[in-house]
Amino acid sequence: MRTAVYPGSFDPLTNGHLDIIRRGTRLFDRFVVAVLENEGKSPLFSVAERMELITRCTAGIPAVEVHSFSGLLIDFMRRFNANVVVRGIRAVSDYEYELQMALMNRELSPNVETIFMLPAVEYTYVSSRLVKEVFRLGGDVARLVPPPVLESLKARLPVTVGG
């Protein structure tokens, strides 16, 4: 069984993330979405909320599992007998950071490979941080996030029109 892990904070899940998940499940038998427990980032949604949103948004996609992790990604991967990390890359700046992480993961576990996937063109500029910022300022993000995420944003974030 070929198992891949797609790690991230997913705060919140975007349509770019979903695009990577959908296409990733065509390449692997088991696709584990790994939600990072990193409270140092001051997340908008708790780990449990992010996991629930991802689970709801991927309900119709076979082979997807949603779990959380803290610590080294390599240790998490060993628990699932996974040897492939999937990472989405939108720009050269993403690649530079992700290359360092991929090489460190390989140093820690030589059998781990990292696959970089590009999101669909319409999502190449979309990031969770940008979605939250635009939403806070009253912008329409409905095309950028799944409906359950949009509803959660509306319930959680005050909109400050005009800054």
Active-site residue numbers? 17, 41, 90, 128
**Lookup: tokens for 19:** 């695009």
Exposed (0-12), middle (13-18) or buried (19+): which is 27, by Cβ within 10 Å?
middle
Rounded CA separation 163/160 (Å)? 6
